[in-house]
Structure 1
């Protein structure tokens, strides 16, 4: 690891270890994000409290099954996994099976998970957890549609007392949308939930397409994973190779944006990212702009800024830290 990446590690170790709930819709890049977080947990840089699942990339049935399988891959059959919302607040569910395969993990043959799915609903879990923890102590990494989090904040606004911050992969401003010309997938799937979260008054960081398209997964970087001497490096290389080939054919950018691990990285290594304090809203009615972000870049509205919006990432250090996390796994 270079001295540059090592500096981010040292900065992280000098802070209180984050406690994370990962709200997710696995998803190939979600799988990479979860494995990154669990690898960093083995390096004693974070504590992962639970995985909560939501419908998005694929159905809730598949996202929940996949989360349990991914926990198994990391040797964490003790991981708490809770299933949440099976559809958005108002819109019909739109999935991304054409990107992630029919089961969300590139059509990969999956074993029967040893990690059990908890009976309690994800929203009920978050309400109970966040109302009983130390105030402002838990970070939520949201890497799918924001339906669970919006439900939690709507049904039990007092739960916000337990939230240190919500780190969100979603939205776009300068970069075109990836599901419509204007909208990023997570915000498009449930724009009403996104707007509820943005208006909730809790600390927010957003990793938009503007920055995730700077963290490009190339074939060379996939080979770095493939050559690791553990099970999860080669496994993730196989999974992400399917993803990279699809995204490369679609985007022609020289690689595939590794969206969701950026949220994990920002929660643990915020210095990796340049960020700007801005006011953000989400379009919930426009026929052509549904799910698009309205980012008040120059504070024209005089609205109070509500988001730390990521604008750039140290991608070399990001991938070094990502690889270190995956290498720490079985």
Structure 2
């Protein structure tokens, strides 16, 4: 399966990219970057660093710096650290970005591999909305869109109403859900059922000294946040769960519903069922233990 991950690395993004690199079902043909956990130039640098560390030659196309109509973004330093990788702050600049912007790269790659490309968006949906606006055929050219975002049937994580990826560009998300391609939404309804604990990271590092050790090291900052803010003993495999949904749909229970996103007022960023809109498949439940096991086994195969 040809996969593009639209990403804002980010600790859980790094985990998802490592999983995609290790999964035999996945041909990772590119990363597109967006603001979110970091500023977009940090996202791109981190993406290129991860690909180099994984020994992959996939291109990195840089995308949106801000939400649609905005000119400022404040990264989630309290969650992911000042450079996106927890306490690790010295991250080298390796290689260069693709000549095309993220939206252009998405459109051109989907056109070149019509019906073959799955796009997994694990950050704000700005690049996806821009690609849809750039080429009306984009939604039909991709095989499907898998989104890590939303809290449709459960509380949010930015506030009671909203999940972070949707909240950071609610207008872009609403554009995507208004006329979506074939879409699977992997939100907090399931990703908080895939907790990865300190002992899991330690065991992973024992089996995968380089990549597993790196993920363990950057996770300490992330795990501390989960403990202090949520009282949880682990972190959700948010982005990795979305990548796993690209190839292992039977592990998920889904319902079909249209979606809209609140774009103003006190519930800004909330993702709501909307029967007037085209249906997407929303994950309601997951084999959480199975996802954790699959993630570990795949990533443990890396050096």
TM-score for the superposition, normalised by structure 2: 0.95
- In 1, are the aligned partners of 2:61 and 2:105 still within 8 Å (CA)? yes
How many pairs does the alignment contain? 302
Give per-residue Cα distances to partners, 1:239-284, cap 9 Å, x unaligned.
Answer: 1122112112110133221211111000011111111111211001
- Aligned-residue Cα RMSD (Å) equals 1.5
Q: Report the CA distance between 1:183 and its aligned residue.
A: 0.6
Query: Corresponding residue for 1:295?
Result: 273
Query: For residues 74 and 146 of structure 2, what CA distance do their matches in structure 1 show?
Result: 23
Q: 1:36 aligns with which of 8, 12, 19?
A: 19
In 1, are the aligned partners of 2:205 and 2:216 still within 8 Å (CA)? Answer: yes
CA contact (8 A) 1:69 1:110 kept: no
Cα distance between partner residues in 2 of 1:240 and 1:60:
21
CA deviation after TM superposition for structure 1 residue 304, in Å = 5.1
1:135-154, aligned counterparts within 5 Å? 136-154=115-133
Contact 1:277 1:305 (8 Å CA) reproduced = no
Moved over 6 A (4+): none
Q: 2:201 aligns with which of 197, 214, 222?
A: 222
Please give the per-residue CA displacement for 1:116-170, whole angstroms capped at 9, x wherever unaligned. Answer: 3222211111111112223x22110000000001001012112222211100000
Question: Conserved in 1, the CA contact under 8 Å of 2:5 and 2:122?
Answer: yes
Cα distance change, pair 317–167 in 1 and its aligned pair in 2 (3 A): same
The CA distance in 2 between the partners of 1:211 and 1:151, in whole Å, is 27
TM alignment of 1:34-113, pairs within 5 A: 34-40=17-23, 44-76=24-56, 78-91=57-70, 92-113=72-93
Q: Does 1:116 align with 2:99?
A: no
Q: Structure 1: which 5+ runs fail to align?
A: 1-17
Picking from 272, 278, 282, the partner of 1:309 is 282
Give, in angstroms, the shift of residue 295 of structure 1: 1.9
TM-aligned CA distance change 1:316 to 1:280, over 3 Å: same
Alpha-carbon distance, 1:36 to partner: 0.6
CA distance in 1, matches of 2:301, 2:208: 10
Deviations 1:84-135 (A, max 9, x none): 111110244242111101111113144424343222211111111112223x
Written as runs of structure 1 = structure 2, the 5 A alignment for 1:240-251 is 240-251=219-230
Whether the aligned pair in 2 keeps the contact of 1:90 and 1:192 (CA below 8 Å) is: no
Q: Deviations over 1:7-66 (max 9, x none)?
A: xxxxxxxxxxx21110000110001011110111xxx21111100000111101111100
2:10 match: 27
Task: Report the equivalent of 1:127.
Answer: 107
SS of the counterpart of 1:227? helix
Give me the whole-angstrom Cα distance separating, in 1, the residues matched to 2:284 and 2:90: 36
Secondary structure at the residue paired with 1:31?
helix
* Aligned-pair CA distance for 1:291: 0.6
What is the DSSP-based 3-state SS (H/G/I as helix, E as strand, rest coil) of the residue aligned with 1:90?
coil
Cα contact 1:69–1:112 (8 A) shared by 2: yes
